[in-house]
Amino acid sequence: MMQEKQKIAFITGATSGIGKATAELFAKNNIKLILCGRRQEKLDALKKTLQNKTAVHTLNFDVRKKEDVRAAIQSLPEEFASIDILVNNAGNAHGLDPIQSGALEDWDAMIDINVKGLLYVSRAILPGMIQRKNGHIINIGSTAGKEVYPGGNVYCASKHAVDAINQGMRIDLNENGIRVGAVNPGLVETEFSEVRFKGDEERAKKVYQGYQPLKPEDIADIIYFVTTRPYHVNIADLVVMPTAQASSTIVKKKE
Ligand code: NDP
Ligand code: 8X3
């Protein structure tokens, strides 16, 4: 029997949270990994833990810098170049201010990372996928891409853009047989809120108190499930929340 080729996954934002949990689960399942992020020490530590399970290559770049994105992807050694799975996960919220007092730097960060960064990475990886007539893109959106909540303004806009890009990619890549789908989580306990509240750990912790939030591993399970369906099955758009959450603003918390 012919052995199936070992798959290669490219994960952005692999240094923490959802991306890291996905890297760990993919490694367990013998998927070769290209792990990306800006924190070199985190990339090194992850490579050290996972490389006894699978081959790991790390890339340090900021998704905002289009030249760096292109150069990093072009630098891939041949044995990592045929990417099968792209997990467009790098992203964060910056701030939760009302629109009238929002910080311009926060807006730039969210649009530049969550939207433009995702586009730059995809644009650099797609030609190879098209040439090989093989590829699966998973865009990490959010419930914030399906609804808008107070103070969510620009973060929600960035994730609504991801929702639109996910649909647009699926339409444009249809003729190439490339699978495209989004996973849209609700509240997941990661470094997300620490980044949003600029290192205010107390405020960040409160977001996840009084109920059971999702764990990054819950999302990794779903991403792995999405990537392991037979080729004719494309999970196009999936929303997942903690059971305690009904919408962005309705979360059943203990008194
Ligand atoms: P984390 O803060 O734990 O992880 C964010 C990741 O993105 C890090 O690995 C970080 O790496 C990377 N990243 C951030 N900015 C950049 C940049 N400029 N260039 C390259 N990499 C960058 O948060 P999550 O794991 O929660 O977030 C992952 C994705 O999930 C995001 O797109 C987020 O919007 C989405 N999401 C999160 C939810 C949640 O409740 N946590 C819910 C719904 C969606 P480094 O700092 O090393 O560069
Ligand atoms: C992250 C979930 O509700 O904080 O995308 O926006 S939320």
Query: Which residues are designated catalytic?
Result: 155
- Which CATH number do you get for residue 79? 3.40.50.720
The reply to whether 250 falls in a domain is no
The reply to whether 100 falls in a domain is yes
Residue with CA closest to ligand 2 atom 5: 142
The reply to whether 247 falls in a domain is no
The reply to whether 3 falls in a domain is no
CA of 136: how far to CAs of 1, 97, 140, in Å?
Answer: 25, 35, 13
- pLDDT tens digit string along 2-17? 667 899 999 999 999 9
Pocket of ligand 2 (CB under 6 A): 142-144, 152, 186-187, 248
pLDDT at 243 over 90: yes
Number of domains in the chain: 1
**Domain span holding position 185:** 8-240
Within 8 A by CB and 6+ apart from 100, the residues are none
- pLDDT tens digit string along 173-200? 999 999 999 999 999 999 999 999 999 9
The reply to whether 1 falls in a domain is no
Does the beta carbon of 155 sit less than 6 angstroms from any atom of ligand 1? Answer: no
Q: Calculate the average pLDDT of the chain.
A: 98
Q: Which of 140, 12, 135 is nearest to 72 (CA)?
A: 12
Does the beta carbon of 187 sit less than 6 angstroms from any atom of ligand 1? Answer: yes
Ligand 2 center from residue 143 Cα (angstroms): 6
The reply to whether 103 falls in a domain is yes
Does the beta carbon of 22 sit less than 6 angstroms from any atom of ligand 1? Answer: no
Rg (CA), the chain: 18
The reply to whether 26 falls in a domain is yes
Phi/psi at 199 (5° precision): 90, 0
Better pLDDT: 1 or 228: 228
- pLDDT tens digit string along 28-82? 999 999 999 999 999 999 999 999 999 999 999 999 999 999 999 999 999 999 9
Burial label for 199, CB within 10 Å (0-12, 13-18, 19+), is exposed
**DSSP of 133-198:** T--EEEEE--GGGT---TTTHHHHHHHHHHHHHHHHHHHHTGGGT-EEEEEEES-B-SSHHHHHTT
The reply to whether 220 falls in a domain is yes
- pLDDT tens digit string along 73-85? 999 999 999 999 9
